[in-house]
Structure 1
């Protein structure tokens, strides 16, 4: 289906009603998940997307490719949703766009969610999925980028840290869309267009369970940042997570990590998921894809002639 470009005020008016109704701390998480899946119908797939269902490290997953395109390398995408909601359905469109723009296969992982499966279940799933892509799918670590949004962005960072520290595997790059990298931090704002403080606190508690909030796997912003691969962070200035993203970027740069940082104005939390009908969000996805593609398939001097 072809993209559209609705005016930002129209998109905001619609989404500003939908998200508070779905991401509501008074609703049980299973109900929130069903509502999110229903709402995902607004995020259609680009033409010629091929969706291959599989299992990755024992979890349901999808490999998204583009008919007629076959580039080396892959992206392992970890969806957002406060570690409690989100699914293959809610992020299939965004993952497909990354596949179209990078030319690479994008693996979308259905990692375990809290409160049924609190920390570190999701981290274990993501780590195992990356290792399986290396050990069984035949990719080199430097051919696989890790990407994710919100909680999935935090999970991507934690996964990279664990892969490096415990398995000696360094991903090609990190692509982080408004990453939630320290759930211990209480947002200063009450809400943005998409998420609100009571919901985020409920998610943080559900994800932690009986765990230790000081564990860097839970709060990777407080973990080891030295040695991480090139990282791109995208966030809008209006978001609850904006200040945390600014802190993350500063900490990464202090640790010597190559960082690209983009602060949009006028979008919303993970607007990239609505790229099908918001031109500015589609542009952000293209910028992220270019960064990931260059990391996975760097241009050599020989390629330049």
Structure 2
């Protein structure tokens, strides 16, 4: 992989200016959208829709075949982000997997604190099932806070007696709002994006005075038994590295099939930089193959892993 690309990305991320005073939630959302938004890729048609009572974005790639569906949950610290900011990432994953996707505009803090996002994730998942999507034709993916929300959604679905999807892929999931992972401090200098204070501020807005160790807020503390096969990808240079590592360990201890990938020299949700970072493209290809390999027999790639490019 390209050391030059990794170094250039690290320098670019470190060059982002930091506000002298804490920005308002709206200012953070505007900055997040300006920095991260990428449109749906060529060959992917996007349409506005509603799912589980919330606005959503359908992403239909021209590579899609069979009944497979992807539910995508975007990142943004439960404060920022939307299906529009993540249309590129979700669309790329959908295109590479050959799956129709839907990305949900779940409610954000601080206007809608925990557990509003979990309620919206569960409502979206429930509607997909109730409108005819076979759970074995359904996969889930998410990044950062959306990764934690993905696991929380499936825990809530399990408690509601709903079947689990075929597989889950998570990019740098944030699953510990208590900030007890060692990397939250040890990786602060290596992380070009976040500090411990940044992450704590997001947790303050999302959970407030609530129980930050509650399983639906911090799924790293949950019993994960019964969840579907799980792929977790993270970068070595991120303060949330231990969230990914401990989630994978907890899943394994709870008898869940799990694959953990840690990319050396890579930042938080490095998959966002597809098309300009070789590691991002390779990771998305692996995630796409992982998801399709676990789909039901109706998908042409079910049970068949293509060679890694």
Same fold (TM over 0.5): yes
Determine if the alignment matches structure 1 residue 76 to structure 2 residue 71.
yes
- Paired with 1:14 and 1:225, the residues of 2 have a C-alpha distance of 37
Structure 2 unpaired stretches of 5+? 305-309
Cα drift, residue 163 of structure 1 = 0.6
Please report the TM-score for the alignment, with normalisation by the length of structure 1.
Answer: 0.90
Which among 156, 175, 179 is matched to residue 169 of structure 2? Answer: 175
1:301 and 1:158, CA in 2 relative to 1: closer, same or farther beyond 3 A?
Answer: closer
1:68 and 1:239, CA in 2 relative to 1: closer, same or farther beyond 3 A?
Answer: closer
Contact 2:63-2:98 within 8 A present in 1 as well: no
Structure 1 unpaired stretches of 5+? none
- Paired with 1:288 and 1:68, the residues of 2 have a C-alpha distance of 16
Please report the TM-score for the alignment, with normalisation by the length of structure 2.
Answer: 0.89
Q: Give the length in aligned residue pairs.
A: 294
Contact 2:118-2:149 within 8 A present in 1 as well: yes
Task: Supply the RMSD in Å over aligned alpha carbons.
Answer: 2.2
Partner of 2:246: 247
Cα drift, residue 6 of structure 1 = 7.9
The runs of at least 4 consecutive aligned structure 1 residues that moved more than 3 Å come to 297-302
Which among 102, 127, 137 is matched to residue 97 of structure 2? Answer: 102
1:266 and 1:297, CA in 2 relative to 1: closer, same or farther beyond 3 A?
Answer: farther
Contact 1:25-1:198 within 8 A present in 2 as well: no
Question: Greater shift after overlay, 103-112 or 43-52?
Answer: 43-52
Cα drift, residue 103 of structure 1 = 0.6
Partner of 1:90: 85
Partner of 1:116: 111
Aligned to 1:90, the other structure's residue is in SS state coil
1:6 and 1:87, CA in 2 relative to 1: closer, same or farther beyond 3 A?
Answer: farther
Contact 2:293-2:302 within 8 A present in 1 as well: no
Contact 1:40-1:89 within 8 A present in 2 as well: no
Partner of 1:33: 29
Alignment of 1:1-305 (within 5 A): 7-18=5-16, 21=18, 26-41=22-37, 43-67=38-62, 69-136=64-131, 138-186=132-180, 187-189=184-186, 190=188, 192-297=191-296
Cα drift, residue 13 of structure 1 = 1.7
Question: Greater shift after overlay, 142-151 or 7-16?
Answer: 7-16
Cα drift, residue 85 of structure 1 = 1.0
Contact 1:6-1:277 within 8 A present in 2 as well: no
Contact 2:64-2:100 within 8 A present in 1 as well: no
